[in-house]
């Protein structure tokens, strides 16, 4: 383990490895990568161009090569695969589970994809891949792997064990055996523990568990992730509309979905549209950031115009200008807090068991308490700093109103976006911040206009 950590973190090793690649020092490369986790090798190869990376990969065993390619990020892998010949990609595909193989094939041109499939030497794998290619990538059918172990309910334990041995090479991660009827419909599962402890003459029908969570092929990847997180599953079987067992989804595939979803929401909340990374082109990065920056600028113009409407008040009582940043910052922070909680809760459908009215009442009470505390602090701070009592009262009342409105907007906006099919994370980014800035200013100046 220490060697792996040193391999991952040492700049000295990276420079030495770069020199070995430049000099085509096969012995050093093979020796230094022996026993290293393929995921760590993938991370190392991020530092090299496609040609040098291919040279390194070609020196490694076939199974390791396949794992390295599978561990690479999609953008990097797509660039890598351009320097591989179809025969080499075919060998990689042969060493991968069907779902991982399909992910790679989907990144290739159709002609090259068909050529690789035609060269597969395993007819069962070819059939599995062709079956999976029918599904969209973001549904359960596109996530599932065809490799699994199933047993007929009428089998004996001995027959089940023979099937496990027969499929041992194909199924890398074995969590349980799925039980089907004579029509291949999923009816339950049987744990490996029960199989081991059962006698040879025991029937699967006597030891299988009929209670089983499954997903349908058409379910979205987000729904699959929610099911697996809710029930703490390491694998979940996939069935069609008739209940026939088609494949299974393992936890590693769901972790990828959760990670991608979290990255997308984080970018949206930061005001970045589209899936971009630091090494993307300047144009891609600019295009992803500019729309929300423009919205912010437009919001700033509207804020300036709103301040202009109350120019007379500002000229008569210049002190009210000092509190504009306070009002805007508080409104933005309260709105983001409220919307973030709602967005997080929307990821768990069972979290919103209460009615909308009950939810809004709760939001109002929390906002009123927070607003009262903040207003009291601002009122006291004004008096201590030498401000007039009238001005302190106006700022405190306005701040209280801003907290109430910002909490309401932060709660209702993601719910509305989600209702109409938009990503609710939009409500936690520049959208809600700009909106609350404008509402906060309007409330503040209107309160000043009425009371001063």
Confidence at residue 350, expressed as pLDDT on a 0 to 100 scale: 52
Q: Residue 180 belongs to what H/E stretch?
A: strand 176-180
Task: Evaluate whether 204 touches 190 at the Cβ level (below 8 Å).
Answer: yes
The tokens of 262 are what? 């979290």
The tokens of 249 are what? 């989804």
The tokens of 164 are what? 């496990």
Crossing angle of the two packed helices 62-71 and 86-94, in degrees rounded to 10: 90
* Cα-based distances in Å from 163 to 44, 122, 157: 39, 18, 10
Confidence at residue 269, expressed as pLDDT on a 0 to 100 scale: 65
* Cα-based distances in Å from 144 to 108, 248, 258: 20, 5, 15
Q: Is the pTM of this model over 0.75?
A: no
* Cα-based distances in Å from 99 to 16, 106, 250, 271: 36, 11, 10, 33
Asked if the domains 2-136 and 282-451 are classified in one and the same CATH topology, the answer is: no
Domain boundaries, the chain: 2-136, 150-259, 282-451
Task: Evaluate whether 324 touches 394 at the Cβ level (below 8 Å).
Answer: no
Q: What angle do CA 132, 137, 140 make, to 5 degrees?
A: 70
Task: Evaluate whether 329 touches 378 at the Cβ level (below 8 Å).
Answer: no
Q: Specify the CATH number for 150-259; select among 3.40.50.720, 3.10.580.10, 3.30.70.3400, 3.40.50.300.
A: 3.10.580.10
Q: Mean pLDDT of residues grouped by 10 in the chain (452 residues)?
A: 47 83 89 85 81 89 89 82 89 90 90 90 88 91 92 94 85 87 95 89 93 94 90 93 94 84 70 61 73 77 80 75 87 83 69 67 90 93 85 91 90 82 68 80 86 74
Given CATH 3.50.30.10, say whether it is the number of domain 2-136. no
Task: Evaluate whether 330 touches 374 at the Cβ level (below 8 Å).
Answer: yes
Query: Nearest 10 degrees: CA dihedral of 98, 101, 103, 106?
Result: -110
The upper half-sphere exposure of residue 125, i.e. CA atoms within 13 Å in the direction of its Cβ, equals 24
Mapped onto helix, strand or coil, the DSSP state of residue 189 is strand
**What fold is seen in the domain 282-451?**
Tetracycline Repressor; domain 2 (1.10.357)
> Rounded CA gap, 120 and 136, in Å?
22
Confidence at residue 6, expressed as pLDDT on a 0 to 100 scale: 46
Sheet holding 150-152, edge to edge: 150-152, 176-180, 186-191
Write the DSSP symbol of residue 36: -
Confidence at residue 445, expressed as pLDDT on a 0 to 100 scale: 86
Confidence at residue 237, expressed as pLDDT on a 0 to 100 scale: 95
Confidence at residue 268, expressed as pLDDT on a 0 to 100 scale: 67
């Amino acid at each position: 383990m220490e060697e792996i950590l040193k391999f991952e973190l040492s700049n000295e090793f990276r420079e030495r490895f770069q020199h070995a690649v430049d000099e085509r020092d096969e012995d050093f490369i093979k020796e230094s990568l022996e026993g290293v986790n393929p995921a760590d090798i993938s991370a190392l190869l991020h530092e090299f161009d496609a040609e040098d990376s291919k040279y390194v990969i070609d020196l490694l065993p076939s199974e390791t090569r396949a794992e390295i390619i599978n561990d690479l990020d999609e953008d990097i892998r797509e660039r890598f695969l351009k320097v591989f010949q179809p025969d080499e990609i075919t060998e990689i595909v042969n060493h991968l589970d069907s779902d991982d193989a399909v992910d790679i094939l989907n990144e290739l041109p159709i002609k090259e994809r068909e050529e690789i499939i035609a060269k597969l030497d395993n007819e069962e794998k070819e059939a599995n891949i062709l079956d999976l290619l029918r599904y969209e990538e973001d549904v359960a059918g596109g996530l599932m792997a065809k490799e699994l172990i199933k047993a007929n309910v009428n089998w004996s334990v001995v027959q089940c064990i023979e099937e496990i041995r027969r499929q041992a090479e194909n199924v890398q991660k074995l969590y349980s055996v799925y039980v089907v009827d004579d029509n291949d419909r999923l009816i339950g599962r049987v744990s490996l523990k029960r199989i081991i402890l059962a006698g040879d003459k025991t029937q699967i029908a006597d030891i299988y568990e009929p209670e089983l969570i499954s997903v349908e092929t058409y379910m979205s990847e987000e729904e699959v992730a929610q099911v697996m997180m809710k029930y703490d599953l390491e694998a979940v079987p996939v069935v069609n509309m008739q209940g026939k067992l088609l494949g299974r989804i393992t936890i590693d595939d769901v972790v990828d979905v959760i990670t991608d979803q979290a990255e997308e929401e984080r970018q949206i909340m930061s005001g970045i549209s589209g899936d971009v990374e630091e090494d993307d082109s300047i144009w891609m990065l600019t295009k992803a950031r500019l729309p929300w920056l423009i919205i912010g600028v437009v919001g700033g113009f509207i804020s300036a115009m709103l301040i202009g409407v109350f120019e007379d008040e500002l000229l008569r009582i210049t002190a009210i200008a000092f509190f504009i940043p306070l009002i805007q910052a508080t409104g933005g922070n309260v709105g983001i807090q409220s919307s973030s909680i709602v967005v997080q809760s929307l990821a768990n459908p069972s979290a919103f068991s209460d009615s909308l009215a009950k939810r809004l009442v709760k939001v109002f009470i929390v906002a009123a308490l927070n607003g009262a505390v903040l207003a009291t602090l601002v009122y006291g701070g004004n008096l201590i700093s030498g401000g007039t009592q009238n001005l302190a009262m106006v700022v405190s009342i306005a701040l209280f109103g801003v907290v109430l409105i910002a909490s309401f907007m932060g709660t209702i906006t993601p719910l509305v976006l989600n209702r109409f099919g938009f990503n609710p994370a939009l409500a936690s980014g520049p959208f809600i911040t700009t909106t609350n800035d404008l509402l906060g200013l309007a409330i503040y100046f209107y309160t000043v206009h009425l009371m001063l």
